[in-house]
C-alpha cells in the first residue's frame, strides 16, 4: 500500500499525471459548496464541476498547435480576444508548457 506508487499517480513510468479540474486560462475550479434541495427541503451537498474541454489551438507565436484544458467560458474568451496567443498574454498563461 502506497510504497511503490508515486504522488502524481503515474507509477508505471508514463508521463500522464493526475490534474485538478481547473481551467488553464481562467482558473475556474469546482464549486464544492453546492446544495441540492429536495421537495421536503432536505439539503444535500454535491459538487458543481467546471465544464472542461480538451482543445487544440494553433499558436502563431510558437508556430505549432497547443493543447489546453479550457472551460467553455474560457473558449468564448479565446474567441473574444481573437486567438489563443492574445488570450494567453492577457491572462498570463505560458503556452510553452502546453
CA 77 remoteness from chain centre: 14
Query: Distance between CA 97 and CA 19 in Å, rounded?
Result: 14
**Distances, alpha carbon 75 to alpha carbons 40, 56, 68, 81, in Å:** 39, 11, 10, 10
46 pairs with which residues across the strands?
A: 34
Q: Is 41 left (phi over 0), alpha (psi -120 to 50) or beta?
A: left
Q: What is the pLDDT of residues 46-86, one digit of tens each?
A: 999 999 999 999 999 999 999 999 999 999 999 999 999 99
What's the confidence (pLDDT) of residue 12?
60
CB-CB neighbours of 28 under 10 Å: 18
**Alpha-carbon gap, residue 49 to 60, rounded angstroms:** 32
| pLDDT tens figures, 5-44 | 555 555 566 677 888 999 999 999 999 999 999 999 999 9
Q: What is the mean pLDDT of the chain?
A: 90
Alpha carbon separation from 27 to 9, 21, 56, 93 (Å, rounded):
22, 9, 18, 10
Amino acid at each position: 500500500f502506497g510504497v511503490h506508487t508515486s504522488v502524481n499517480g503515474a507509477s508505471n513510468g508514463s508521463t500522464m499525471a493526475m490534474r485538478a479540474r481547473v481551467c488553464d486560462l481562467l482558473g475556474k475550479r469546482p464549486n464544492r459548496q453546492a446544495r441540492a434541495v429536495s421537495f421536503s427541503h432536505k439539503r444535500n451537498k454535491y459538487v458543481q464541476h467546471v465544464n472542461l474541454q480538451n482543445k487544440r489551438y494553433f499558436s502563431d507565436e510558437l508556430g505549432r498547435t497547443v493543447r489546453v484544458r479550457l472551460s467553455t467560458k474560457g473558449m468564448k474568451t479565446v474567441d473574444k480576444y481573437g486567438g489563443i496567443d492574445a488570450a494567453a498574454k492577457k491572462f498570463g498563461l505560458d503556452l510553452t508548457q502546453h
